[in-house]
């Protein structure tokens, strides 16, 4: 067996896999279009999951099915030496139910919401399986292919969280790829952790004239926001905060009974994330106390209800691990100049648990992700270059039979 990426790329078996990827590139494009046009809004991925599950069956993977959270799983057996390497792409998109997901094609460009994030990734996993099978490549470790739910937004990584905390393979996964995004140069080895909150301030309300002087939850919210604007955070590790969405009140001439804001805290280091989290809670308490001291509480005081609506742990994969070294050996062989970076992806979960994991692009180019104008370019040469580099990275991590 070999994990040496240069030897893998030079092998006849890998050259055959490259040939298959090239010959079947039109099928890859067809499947990108097919899967994109099956809507997968947040928490409603089931239709796309059913279609993806059938494709795993059609490709002959073993133990194909959906787990309790909705992830689609399938195993490609290798020699079974060691634990599994998981290769995942996420089923969900950021777009709400009712979004038109029809694909418009202009030359080699495909336009549609979610076409690149992460539907191309889903189709690329299928292309990898076909290439491995067609080339007769046997891996040292078994490969677990995953179409996971809940990567975007308030999905809070629920699919991969389940995979690693409750899933049947949780004790067998020794490495994890999330194939997400397009370009391969930036390999994510640092997980940006985040806490997300919905903070609601409540009070007795009343007529804006007749009850003037009564405590007002809007002013408590204002105190919180003003205090947040003065939070000091380091540049390294990168740490950020944002008050993002707002609501409340019933009428222009009524003191609101409730106002709320949703807040996002992020950091590359868990310790820094926890520090700014504590600072936020202190500021909430200060805002409540200040408004209750300022105005009349005879009809009731201001209270705060704080609900955590998102929790993505921070973490990282050391650069001397096999999965990172495989990427850094494979990418330059196909003209990519790799760097490492940080982001918030499905890889957060395994990284936080000490399982080596990276985010790897799926190839090609595109733009306008998370907008209805999202597009990708499936021009074959650039697309295939990414496929070759991705497959070589996976084989450099899972190992390939020397006689393959």
CATH number at residue 250: 3.30.70.360
Domain membership flag for residue 227: yes
Domain of 128? 5-191+314-398
Q: Whole-angstrom Cα distance, residue 383 to residue 30? A: 14
Residues belonging to the chain: 404
Check whether residue 387 and residue 348 sit in a common domain: yes
Q: Whole-angstrom Cα distance, residue 301 to residue 295? A: 9
- pLDDT per residue over 300-326, tens digit each? 999 999 999 999 999 999 999 999 999
Q: Whole-angstrom Cα distance, residue 43 to residue 95? A: 11
Which two structure tokens, joined as six digits, stand for 129?
């399986």
Domain membership flag for residue 49: yes
Check whether residue 219 and residue 335 sit in a common domain: no
Per-residue model confidence (pLDDT) at position 280: 98
pLDDT at 402 over 90: no
Cβ-count burial 63-73 (b if 16+ within 10 Å, e if not) = ebebbebbbbb
Domain membership flag for residue 403: no
Check whether residue 385 and residue 278 sit in a common domain: no
pLDDT at 403 over 70: no
Q: Whole-angstrom Cα distance, residue 86 to residue 347? A: 11
Check whether residue 138 and residue 270 sit in a common domain: no
What's the predicted TM-score (pTM) here?
A: 0.94
Which two structure tokens, joined as six digits, stand for 360?
């790897």
Which two structure tokens, joined as six digits, stand for 320?
């001397």
Omega of the bond leading into 159 within 30 degrees of 0 (cis): no
pLDDT at 361 over 90: yes
Domain termination site, one of 312, 343, 363: 312
- pLDDT per residue over 116-139, tens digit each? 999 999 999 999 999 999 999 999
Give the chain's domain count.
2
Q: What is the mean pLDDT of the chain?
A: 97
Continuous segment of H or E residues that includes residue 375: strand 375-377
Check whether residue 184 and residue 197 sit in a common domain: no
Q: Which residue has the tokens 């067998």?
A: 172
- Report, as an integer, the average pLDDT of 23-37: 98
Sign of the torsion formed by the C-alpha atoms of 132, 133, 138 and 142 = positive
Q: Whole-angstrom Cα distance, residue 228 to residue 250? A: 26
Are the CB atoms for 132 and 318 separated by under 8 Å?
Answer: no
Q: Whole-angstrom Cα distance, residue 342 to residue 358? A: 10
Check whether residue 366 and residue 220 sit in a common domain: no
Confidence of residue 373 (pLDDT cuts 50, 70, 90): very high
Check whether residue 30 and residue 41 sit in a common domain: yes
Give the pairing type, strands 173-179 and 339-343. unpaired
pLDDT at 375 over 90: yes
156 burial class (0-12, 13-18, 19+ CB within 10 angstroms)?
Answer: middle
**CA distances, 116 to each of 3, 7, 95, 375 (Å):** 30, 31, 13, 7
Check whether residue 269 and residue 146 sit in a common domain: no
CATH number at residue 148: 3.40.630.10
Which two structure tokens, joined as six digits, stand for 163?
């995979």
pLDDT at 374 over 90: yes
Domain termination site, one of 312, 329, 346: 312
Q: Whole-angstrom Cα distance, residue 183 to residue 367? A: 11
Give 403 or 25, the one with higher predicted confidence. 25
Three-state DSSP class for residue 363 = coil
pLDDT at 404 over 60: no
**CA distances, 325 to each of 155, 172, 249, 338, 354 (Å):** 31, 21, 54, 11, 17
- pLDDT per residue over 76-119, tens digit each? 999 988 899 999 999 999 999 999 999 999 999 999 999 999 99
pLDDT at 35 over 90: yes
Check whether residue 199 and residue 182 sit in a common domain: no
Domain membership flag for residue 239: yes
Q: Whole-angstrom Cα distance, residue 299 to residue 232? A: 37
Per-residue model confidence (pLDDT) at position 81: 84
Neighbouring CB atoms inside 10 A of 317's CB total: 25
Domain termination site, one of 260, 278, 312: 312
pLDDT at 1 over 90: no
- pLDDT per residue over 210-229, tens digit each? 999 999 999 999 999 999 99
Neighbouring residues of 19: CB distance < 8 A, sequence distance ≥ 6:
none
Q: Whole-angstrom Cα distance, residue 220 to residue 261? A: 11
Check whether residue 183 and residue 103 sit in a common domain: yes
Check whether residue 29 and residue 142 sit in a common domain: yes
Q: Whole-angstrom Cα distance, residue 65 to residue 84? A: 17
Q: Whole-angstrom Cα distance, residue 125 to residue 146? A: 9
Check whether residue 84 and residue 112 sit in a common domain: yes
Confidence of residue 40 (pLDDT cuts 50, 70, 90): very high
Which two structure tokens, joined as six digits, stand for 343?
């982001």
Half-sphere exposure of 384 (CA within 13 A, CB side): 16
Q: Whole-angstrom Cα distance, residue 144 to residue 163? A: 11
Phi, psi of 203 (to 5 degrees): -155, -175
Domain membership flag for residue 404: no
């Amino acid at each position: 067996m070999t994990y040496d990426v240069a030897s893998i790329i030079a092998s006849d078996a890998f050259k055959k896999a490259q040939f298959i990827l090239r010959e079947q590139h039109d099928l890859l494009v067809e499947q990108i279009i097919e899967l994109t046009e099956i809507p997968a809004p947040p928490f409603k991925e089931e239709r796309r999951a059913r279609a993806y599950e059938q494709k795993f069956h059609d490709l002959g993977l073993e133990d194909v099915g959906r787990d309790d959270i909705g992830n689609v799983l399938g195993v490609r057996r290798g020699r079974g030496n060691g634990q599994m390497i998981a290769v995942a792409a996420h089923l969900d998109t950021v777009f709400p139910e009712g979004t038109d997901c029809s694909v418009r094609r202009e030359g080699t460009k495909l336009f549609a919401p979610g076409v690149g994030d992460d539907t191309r990734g889903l189709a690329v996993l299928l292309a990898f399986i076909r290439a491995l099978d067609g080339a007769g490549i046997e891996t040292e470790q078994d490969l677990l292919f995953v179409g996971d739910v809940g990567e975007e937004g308030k999905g809070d990584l629920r699919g991969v969280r389940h995979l690693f905390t409750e899933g049947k393979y949780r004790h067998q996964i020794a490495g994890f790829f999330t194939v997400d995004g397009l370009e391969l140069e930036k390999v994510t080895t640092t997980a940006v952790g985040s806490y997300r909150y919905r903070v609601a301030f409540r009070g007795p309300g009343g007529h804006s004239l007749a009850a003037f002087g009564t405590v007002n939850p809007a002013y408590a919210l204002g105190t919180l926001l003003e205090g947040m604007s003065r939070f000091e955070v380091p540049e390294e590790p990168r740490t950020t905060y944002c008050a993002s969405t707002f609501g409340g009140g019933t009428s222009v001439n009524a003191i609101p009974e409730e106002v709320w804001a949703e807040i996002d805290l992020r950091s590359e280091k868990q310790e820094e994330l926890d520090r700014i989290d504590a600072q936020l809670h202190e500021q909430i308490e200060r805002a409540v106390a200040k408004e209750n001291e300022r105005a009349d509480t005879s009809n009731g005081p201001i209270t705060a209800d704080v609900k955590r609506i998102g929790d993505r742990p921070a973490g990282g994969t050391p650069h001397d691990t096999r999965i990172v070294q495989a990427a850094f050996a494979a990418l330059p062989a196909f003209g990519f100049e790799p760097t490492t970076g940080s982001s918030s992806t499905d890889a957060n979960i395994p990284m936080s648990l000490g399982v080596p994991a990276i985010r790897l692009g799926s190839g090609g180019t595109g733009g306008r992700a998370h907008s209805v104008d999202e597009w990708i370019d499936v021009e074959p040469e650039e697309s295939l270059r990414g496929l070759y580099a991705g497959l070589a990275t996976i084989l450099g991590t899972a190992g390939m039979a020397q006689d393959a």
